[in-house]
Structure 1
C-alpha cells in the first residue's frame, strides 16, 4: 500500500506549486474578465456581473493587434527556423571538439537581461549603428528612412531573442540522428538534397515541432520588443494588455484579452500538433 502511495506523494509538491501559481491565478483572471465598473465608483473599482460580452468587445476593439501579433510571431518563427536549422545541423555534425563551445555561445544571450538585449538591437538598428549607414551607402535605404520604430525592427528583435528556443530543440533532435543512416542514403545513390529531404528532415521533425512551438507561443504574447523597437502602428496584443492593466486600469478587458489570446494560441497549437505532430514522424 505504501509503495502505491509513494508516487502520488512525490507529486504533491509539484501539484501544490501549480495550484498556487497557475490554477489560482487563472481562476482569478477568469472571474475578473466578467466584471463591470461599479456605478459611481472610482477608477479601478469593479463588481462581478458575469458579463461575457466583455470578451466580444475586447476582441472587436483589438482585432488588429491580435492579427499583427500572430503575423509577427509567425514571421519571427519562420526566420528563426531558417537560421537555427543550419546552425543546429552544423553543431551536431560538423563542430567536432567545438560542439560544447558553440552550445555555450547559443545560450550565452540568456546570461544577460531580455530587456538589455532588446535595447541593444535598438542601438544596432539606430542611426549610429552600422546597419543603417551601410544600407544607405548601398542605396537600399533612403536618407529619410530608418529601421527603428518599424515592423522590421520588431520582428528582428523577436527573432533574435527567441532564437535559442528554436536552436536547442533542433540540436537535440538532429544530434540523435545516427550518421550511418545518412551514409546509407548516400550508398543508395541519393544526393545531398534527397538525403536531407528523405532522411534528415523527417528524423529531425520532433525538434522542428518543439522549436516552433517554443518560439511562436512566447512571441505571440510578447510586448517588450514592440514597446522598445516599435511604434504605435506596430503595437501587439501584449502591449494592449499591459496598457489596460497598468495605465488604463481596465482589469476586465485586460483579463478578457489574456484569456482570448490563450485560447487562440491553444487552438492553433492543437491544430499544428495534429497536422505535424511527432507521433506520426518518429
Structure 2
C-alpha cells in the first residue's frame, strides 16, 4: 500500500523538485553571490534602499485585501443563501472574468480610467468635470481588487454554503438577533474561509507588477516591478533581483504566519470539515 502511494506521488514530487525546489535554490544562490560567483551579503544589504517600495507594496496589497474582504464577504453570504441552481449561476459569473487573459482585463481598465476614457467621457457628456484616475495608487488598488476578488469570494462561499444551519437556528431559538447570530456564529465559523481568502488575495497583490505598471505608471513602483527591472530591464542585475525576491518570500511567510495565529486548532478542524 505504501509503495503504491509513493508511486502515485512520484510525479508530484518530480514536479515540485523541478519547478519549486530548484528555482528557490537558484534564487538563494544568486542572492548571496556577486557577478563573479563569490559569496557576498552586499545584495541583501542593498535591498534596504528600496524599503519605500516594500512599504508601498505591503500597504497597497493590504488595502486591496481589506476592500476585497469587505466586498467579497457579503457577496459570498448572499450566494450561499440562494438555492442550488442560482448558486451555480452566480459562482460561474464570479469565475467568468478569470477565464479571460489577465493582461486583457487590465487593458480594459486602462480604457475605462484614462483621462479621455469611457468614464471621463461619460462624465463630460453630462456636464461633470473629468477626474484623473489613471496612473494613481487608487487605480492600482482598483486593478488588484478586480483581478483578485474571486480568490476571496470562492473560499468564503465554500465555507458559508456548507455551514450547519442548525447551529444558526439554535442561536435564534436562544434569543439571538440577526446581528448577534452574524457576529457570534457566522463570522467565527467562516474564519477558515476568511483566512484562506485574505492569504490568496494578499500574496499575489503584494507581489504584482503588471497591474502597477499599466494602471499606476512610473510613480507607483511595487516590489514586482523592481524584480522585473532587475531581470528584464536595462539595469539587469539578477543577483539584486534574487535578493529582493528572497526578502519578499520572507515577508510573505511572516504575513502568512501572522494570519495563521488567528486560526486556532479547533477552527482548523472545523475548517477542514467545512471545506
TM-score, length-scaled by structure 2: 0.91
CA distance in 2, matches of 1:138, 1:74: 35
Q: CA RMSD in A?
A: 1.9
- The aligned counterpart of 1:23 is 21
Shift of the 99–142 alpha-carbon distance from structure 1 to 2, 3 Å rule, reads same
- 1:85–1:167 contact (8 Å) kept in structure 2: yes
CA distance in 2, matches of 1:258, 1:138: 47
CA distance in 2, matches of 1:107, 1:94: 17
Q: Does 1:48 align with 2:34?
A: no
Instruction: Tell me which of 212, 230, 234 is aligned to 1:226.
Output: 212
- The aligned counterpart of 2:49 is 61
CA distance in 2, matches of 1:118, 1:81: 21
- The aligned counterpart of 2:273 is none
Q: Does 1:259 align with 2:259?
A: no
CA distance in 1, matches of 2:24, 2:231: 16
Count of aligned positions: 267
- 2:77–2:157 contact (8 Å) kept in structure 1: yes
Instruction: Tell me which of 189, 193, 205 is aligned to 1:207.
Output: 193
CA distance in 1, matches of 2:108, 2:173: 48
Shift of the 181–130 alpha-carbon distance from structure 1 to 2, 3 Å rule, reads farther
- 1:209–1:278 contact (8 Å) kept in structure 2: no
Deviation at 1:130, TM superposition (A): 4.7
Long gaps (5+) in structure 2: 271-275
Instruction: Tell me which of 162, 172, 186 is aligned to 1:176.
Output: 162
CA distance in 1, matches of 2:195, 2:80: 18
- 2:111–2:118 contact (8 Å) kept in structure 1: no
What secondary structure does 1:65 align onto? Answer: helix
Q: Does 1:249 align with 2:236?
A: yes
- The aligned counterpart of 1:98 is 86
- The aligned counterpart of 1:10 is 8
Deviation at 1:120, TM superposition (A): 0.8
What secondary structure does 2:132 align onto? Answer: coil
- The aligned counterpart of 1:113 is 101
